[in-house]
Amino acid sequence: MEDSLRMSSKTRSKKEQSSEPQSLIPSLPEEIIVDILARVGSCYYPKLSLVSKHFRSLVTSHELYERRSLLGCTEHSLYVVLCNKENDNHYCYVLYRKANGNHSLVLIPSLPKMPRKGGFVAVGSRIYVFGGLNSYRHKKIQTNAISIDCISQTVHLLPSMNVTMSVSVADIIDGKIYVTGYRCNMAVFNTETQMWEPKTIPETMNGYMWACDCVVMAGKMYMRDPVNSFVFVYESKEIKWEMDKMLNKFEWKDACVVDDVLYYYDSGWKVLRAYDPKESSWVVVNGLAELLADARFSAWSYTGSYGGKLAMFYSKITGKTKVIRCAEISLERRRQGKKIWGKVEWCDDVLVGVAGVIDGKIYVLHILKSHGIHQRRWSWLCSIPKHKYGILRQRL
């Protein structure tokens, strides 16, 4: 009996091996195959990965993305974390451009569950994830830290955080990730040494809560206190803390930064606002009347930096169906930079489902270039970092 099972197993194994599709271009050298695939749009990679195991390994290889970089065939990727309200699990999605030009959010099944209210930041082609809670129900504080290789879609463990943070936000300055959390906690992770560095907070800062939002503009980190409504400016080179009263004029949250200008959606006034730290002034982005009218009754709206442009996510509900919609907005300065105009490049339904299933939270994780040079937080969504995607915490 055992012999027959063994023979049957061998027969099946041979059949499975023979059923493996042969490469469509087997006679070509490996570097030529990589060169050909590098010239193909990444929207075709999911289908190419089904051709054979060989192709599946190629489309997730660093060699392919290095070749795309040399050829100038780079593309930006936006990662998003969605929370399923039914089971409270947070999973990572990526915004894919289909062959027909439309866009959709696609689940990445190879990645583990993401923490609730964790800190997300992108450095090159990696997403760093820090702290947070293990779930909405249990609320166990985590000190874990991981990095996600967005090319190979693999996860690597990092040294645990030296402080506990129930809520954390993160951003990067000069290769160092600053993770801030509830009640003035801060930790610094060096991406070069892959080690944590000590960081102290001035006594004058004690008692404030920084868990609302965090952005970096022109090498300075801006953190907003949701309780006291102050904005703290941290400049790492001079190690000083100061307040920006003009930035505090509006209660910005879930913000992103494009070309050192902060953008956020003001849900109260239904406008997209922008703050330029050089001018120390706020303006309303013009030219988006039709888009903002469509998003007027959305329960939430989040922004993220997307390859020099702005991505805006919002929801639409029709009966029992819920739609997550995304628009890509190009930005233009006019009148000597005093005015900012936006133009909607595209607006698609990126995820459609039953309202109770895709309810939950959305984080813009981060943005990266395929070759891993562009840096951005996020927080995908994710930036989704960054995104920013900003760290997004409201219920959908």
Q: What is the spatial distance between Cα 210 and Cα 168, in angstroms, rounded to a whole number?
A: 8
Query: CATH 2.120.10.80 occupies which residues in the chain?
Result: 74-377
User: What residues are paired with 331 via a beta bridge?
Assistant: 342
Among 92-96, 258-262, 352-356, the range of highest mean pLDDT: 258-262
Angstrom distance (rounded) from CA 77 to CA 105:
11
CA distances from 13 to 154, 223, 393 (A): 28, 58, 49
Summarised one tens digit per residue, pLDDT across range 84-121 is 777 778 888 888 888 888 999 988 888 988 888 788 88
User: What's the full length of the chain, in residues?
Assistant: 396
The answer for residues whose C-beta is within 8 angstroms of residue 263's C-beta and 6 or more apart is: 255, 256, 257, 272, 273, 274, 285, 303, 310
What the block records as the tokens of 18 is: 């023979």
Q: What is the token pair recorded at 32? A: 């030529």
* Superfamily for the 74-377 domain: Kelch-type beta propeller (2.120.10.80)
237 in Cβ contact with 230 (< 8 Å): no
Position 180 scores a pLDDT of 81
In this prediction, residue 3 carries a pLDDT of 46
pLDDT for res 311: 93
Task: Report the amino acid identity of residue 368.
Answer: L
* Long-range contact set of residues 3-8: C-beta below 8 Å, sequence gap at least 24: none
Nearest to 301 by CA among 290, 291, 286: 291
* Chain centre to alpha carbon of residue 278: 26
Highest mean pLDDT among 74-78, 153-157, 169-173, 241-245: 153-157
CB distance 214 to 180 below 8 Å: yes
Alpha-carbon span 176 to 219, nearest angstrom: 11
3-state secondary structure of 73: coil
Residue 136 in this model has a pLDDT that exceeds 60? no
pLDDT surpassing 80 at residue 367: no
Report how far apart the first and last C-alpha atoms of the chain are (Å, whole number): 57
**pLDDT score of 204:** 66
- In the chain, the largest separation of any two C-alpha atoms, in whole Å, equals 85
Sheet harboring 213-217: ordered strands across? 213-217, 220-224, 231-235, 240-243
Element (H, E) at 139: none
pLDDT: is 344 or 53 the higher one?
344
* Average pLDDT along the chain: 77
State mean pLDDT over 201-209. Answer: 67
Asked which of 121-130, 229-238, 282-291, 372-381 is least confident by mean pLDDT, the reply is 372-381
pLDDT higher at 143 or 284: 284
CA distance 32 to 38: 10
Most confident of the following: 17-31, 40-54, 339-353: 339-353
- What is the average per-residue pLDDT within 136-149? 76
More confident residue, 109 or 271: 271
